[in-house]
A and B are shown apart, each in its own frame.
Chain A
Amino acid sequence: MSNRLARRVNLMPPGTVMTTRNEAVNIETPPEVPAEVSRPIERGLPTIGVRREVRVAGIRIAGRRRRPSGERAPLDRELRTTGRFWLLAGVALIGVWVSLFAFPATTSWWTRHDLSVLRRFVDIRTDTLTSIADAVAVLGSSWFLRILRIGTLLALIFIRRWRHFFAVILAILFVQWTVDILQEVVGRPRPLVPLIGSWEGASHPSGPVARFGVTVATMAYALVPTGRWRRRALGIAGGLVALLILAQLYLGVDHPSDAIVSAVFAIAVTVVLFRWFAPESAFPVHWKPGVTAHLDVTGARGEAIREAVGEQLGMDVLEIKPFGLEGSGGSTPLRMKVKGDPDTFVFAKLYSQTHLRSDRWYKVGRTILYGSLEDEVRFTSVRRLVEYEDYIQRLMRDAGVRSAEPFGIVEIAPEREYLMVSEFLEGSEELTHAEIDDDVIDDALEVIRCMWDAGLAHRDVKPANVMLNDGRIVLIDVAFGSVRPTPWRQAVDLANMMVILGLRVGAPRVYERALLQFAPEDIGEAFAATRSVTLPSQSRSSLAIIKKEQGVDLVEEFRKLAPATEPISIQRWSPRRQRLTAGAALVIIFVVGQVITEFTGGGFL
């Protein structure tokens, strides 16, 4: 908490400052501090200075603590022990391959030992065992794998798990291409024993084992919920891979080293890729259809949030619940109950790399569809994203725009996950659901006036972001806000606010009230810059309903009321947009071609 804020809410007595450790210390003669405001407390951190307990709007804040150097962050990396094991296994494999190339003579050593094992299999060959081995070898056949892979992908399409869908494709493609390249590069002949099974290409690494391994491993990671079922699925998958390896060795078509290396490689790729691309905490597997871009805040993450909020903001979190998920795609909004007198709610937005990636793709999509409207540049890290949102939120408040009181940023996992905690607007309601009188209209338009005067734009003025709290307008979700934007951006903010108000009380009344704070030319400019791409989808839907039910084109009514103004150009075909559009077209052509290839019998599946 800043000194300014702390003083504003009367937390710190005069002469007290916040140190870099966020501890309130007295630098002058200790004044008499009321017992209910400041007193030493114990939070299990006896070595760190004097603690004080303070209260902000009934919220108990106590015992903040800086994470010392070397201490682990509240939420550890997703790779975990198994992930590290498979990552190391993968790296070890690369080491083996490099040694193989650097010292080709080592291949003789491998071959000698491989053959001694294979000869034992040759010695036990019987007709019955051969029939069994032939049957098991079907696991690695292309038609069987095709059924499994297409089935998996169709299931993922059905439950709309796109992240897992692409993770499966990526894993399969990566393993397939790597195996193909290595077979060419290594070019190992088949074992020097009688070959009685089917084979194709060079021996190392084993194509069937790698392809089957990656298929069953991706199935387990993409389709089976984590926990007992996942462990069972992986156990079964491992057993089947082992069976296939035995069959390949019995039939003499693979060396033991070929088969084992392939299995390790396929599983290592799958584990690492899923942990990186579709981590369980961000993309949990369950069989309920629907998009889940939001993070799971139970389990380890929930604990990490409690710990981090306690240490970094000094709040004791009693309960964490997702809140208003349907209205948020760019973060995971939460309502947290924190200890106080009485216990109070705070609002929090959890940002992670998942959201950062979503933001990037969202901006790419907008650039392709609408062109570079303005500032579609992506954030480079989660830290930058939350820093920016926090900054804009504070800037807006400084400019007189009412929004939720920010309490601070909490680090859950460095550079990967941050939580923004702010005041919970208890009893607020969306402007579109509230009673509206002239005072409310004036207040809403004054918010825009404040932003104009301060050189700011909200850029996402829509019904869900304009709340009425204690009869005053509060603007939320300021993440898209911009400082000194292009003029049409500010004009569009005005138009969008007038549309929201117009939806409730009609265009003439809103226009009349707007003239108290804006010039007619300002309003003309606002609606000259307004078109479907500048209207948030929520407003567009409401406008369409009114048009259908009452035959009223609200935007057109505003245009008629305002002085006639030439339409303002807001889009352009920038080189970046052209490149992105061409790239998207190529991707679509590739995907369509791939689908056709798959259905005609070729392709990577």
Chain B
Amino acid sequence: MSRRLILGLLLTTLLASGCNSGLGLDQPDCNDLELNTHFLAAQAVTTAKYTPCIDELRLGWDSVDWYARDGEAGIEFRGGTTPFLTVSVTETCDVSDARPARSGHPVGYPDIDRFEDTESVPIVIRITIIPLGEGPLTSAENIVEEFGREEIEDRRVIMTIDGDLEQDARSRVDRALANDHYVWIISNLDAEERTIEMRSNTTAVAGTGLSPEKAIDLIEDHVPDLFFRGSWYFTFEGGCITYDFDAKGIRAVTVAEDADDALGFYPAYQLRQFFRDGGFDMG
């Protein structure tokens, strides 16, 4: 038997037996309390009452890298090759720039306080149509009918008509711009020619005599990319779990909700107590 064959058989045996054994670093599953990953995370931050764990992975969370070292343990989630969420446990964390979450304590964990410090772009595009007369009002209604269900760069378009003809046009435009809406103004001439005048807080996204299609193209060219970034902090006795978000594109729309649903808290204090009762010290 050749040496290569023997080596191949040895390696195959090693790998096969490794895969079939109870050993190994599996993902820190919240539903399996006896994983080595939980042990190592508990050893990394010996004071932390909880360590992060995964309840159920979400679609598109392509790879999960787990790590632990003295002082920190965590999980990095990737979509393709790009990390979009890192969850880590440390002994302390700085929440001075964060605000308490409106949702309060995580469900089932009254001993955990939650803070948030995130930013994102709106996931809808709002267009306010301002007709300057009765004729233009009809034209505005037709435009809403035709384009009201459009999507631009994965974002839903919401069109509203400010038909308060008694108010002057300038104040109506200012109000819409103040709310960061795109503004389509329709004059009588525009109504006749089926065009609009567009204004926005972005200089490049403006113009007169534009067809609605052209105006939508212009918005599409300049609409900022979707993102969701920042951090959530979960503080508790002896530690802090931080969710660091850096999601872009369509993932930015769902990542916060997915993270809330997919991730949980492993009771490291119970593990520690178990070993302490057995006469061992987890560090």
Q: Tell me if A98 is interfacial: C-beta within 8 Å of chain B.
A: yes
CB distance from B72 to the nearest CB of A (A): 10
The stretch from B19-27, B188-196, B227-235 touching chain A is B19-27
Q: Tell me if A163 is interfacial: C-beta within 8 Å of chain B.
A: no
CB distance from B44 to the nearest CB of A (A): 9
Known: A97-B14, A185-B18. A104 touches B23 (CB 8 A): yes
A-B contact count (CB 8 A): 82
Q: Tell me if A85 is interfacial: C-beta within 8 Å of chain B.
A: no
CB distance from B76 to the nearest CB of A (A): 14
Q: Tell me if B39 is interfacial: C-beta within 8 Å of chain A.
A: yes
Inter-chain CA distance A98–B70, complex, in Å, is 29
Inter-chain CA distance A197–B13, complex, in Å, is 35
Inter-chain CA distance A227–B250, complex, in Å, is 65
Out of A97, A187, A194, A253, name the residue touching B36 (CB < 8 Å). Answer: A187
Inter-chain CA distance A253–B22, complex, in Å, is 23
Out of B17, B40, B282, name the residue touching A98 (CB < 8 Å). Answer: B17
- Chain A residues, CB < 8 A from B69: 198-201
Q: Tell me if A291 is interfacial: C-beta within 8 Å of chain B.
A: no
CB pair B14–A186 under 8 Å, yes or no, is no
CB distance from B199 to the nearest CB of A (A): 46
Q: Tell me if A102 is interfacial: C-beta within 8 Å of chain B.
A: yes
Inter-chain CA distance A188–B280, complex, in Å, is 16
- Chain B residues, CB < 8 A from A195: 43, 46, 70, 283
Inter-chain CA distance A205–B219, complex, in Å, is 57
- Chain B residues, CB < 8 A from A198: 69-70
CB pair B24–A187 under 8 Å, yes or no, is yes
Inter-chain CA distance A190–B73, complex, in Å, is 13
CB distance from B67 to the nearest CB of A (A): 7
Q: Tell me if A5 is interfacial: C-beta within 8 Å of chain B.
A: no
- Chain B residues, CB < 8 A from A199: 69-70
CB pair A201–B67 under 8 Å, yes or no, is yes
Q: In residues 40-76 of chain B, which contact A (Cβ within 8 Å)?
A: 40, 43, 46, 67-70
Inter-chain CA distance A98–B12, complex, in Å, is 10
Inter-chain CA distance A200–B68, complex, in Å, is 6
Q: Tell me if A101 is interfacial: C-beta within 8 Å of chain B.
A: yes
CB pair A107–B23 under 8 Å, yes or no, is yes
Closest to B36 in A: A187
CB pair A98–B13 under 8 Å, yes or no, is yes
Inter-chain CA distance A590–B39, complex, in Å, is 37
Interface residue total, chain B, C-beta cutoff 8 A: 29
CB distance from B48 to the nearest CB of A (A): 14
CB pair B275–A192 under 8 Å, yes or no, is yes
Q: In residues 155-201 of chain A, which contact B (Cβ within 8 Å)?
A: 183-190, 192-195, 197-201
Known: A101-B23, A107-B23, A202-B25. A190 touches B36 (CB 8 A): no
CB pair B24–A190 under 8 Å, yes or no, is no
Closest to B68 in A: A201
CB distance from A553 to the nearest CB of B (A): 53
CB pair B67–A102 under 8 Å, yes or no, is no
Inter-chain CA distance A523–B68, complex, in Å, is 75
The CB with the most chain B CB atoms within 10 A, among A101, A183, A184, A197, is that of A101
Task: Annotate A92-130 by CB proximity to B: 1 below 8 A, 0 otherwise.
Answer: 001001101110100100000001000000000000000
Task: Annotate A66-103 by CB proximity to B: 1 below 8 A, 0 otherwise.
Answer: 00000000000000000000000000001001101110
- Chain B residues, CB < 8 A from A98: 10, 13-14, 17
Closest to A193 in B: B281
CB pair A101–B275 under 8 Å, yes or no, is no
CB pair A188–B43 under 8 Å, yes or no, is no
CB pair A192–B280 under 8 Å, yes or no, is yes
CB pair B37–A187 under 8 Å, yes or no, is yes
Inter-chain CA distance A98–B280, complex, in Å, is 28
- Chain B residues, CB < 8 A from A189: 36, 39-40, 43
CB pair B10–A190 under 8 Å, yes or no, is no
Q: In residues 229-264 of chain B, which contact A (Cβ within 8 Å)?
A: none
CB distance from B25 to the nearest CB of A (A): 4
CB pair B10–A186 under 8 Å, yes or no, is no
Known: A192-B275, A192-B280, A192-B282. A202 touches B14 (CB 8 A): no
- B-binding residues in A (CB < 8 A): 94, 97-98, 100-102, 104, 107, 115, 183-190, 192-195, 197-202, 252-253
14 inter-chain pairs at a CB distance below 8 angstroms, sorted by A residue, are A101-B18, A101-B21, A104-B23, A107-B23, A184-B24, A184-B25, A185-B25, A187-B23, A187-B37, A189-B43, A190-B43, A193-B283, A195-B283, A202-B36
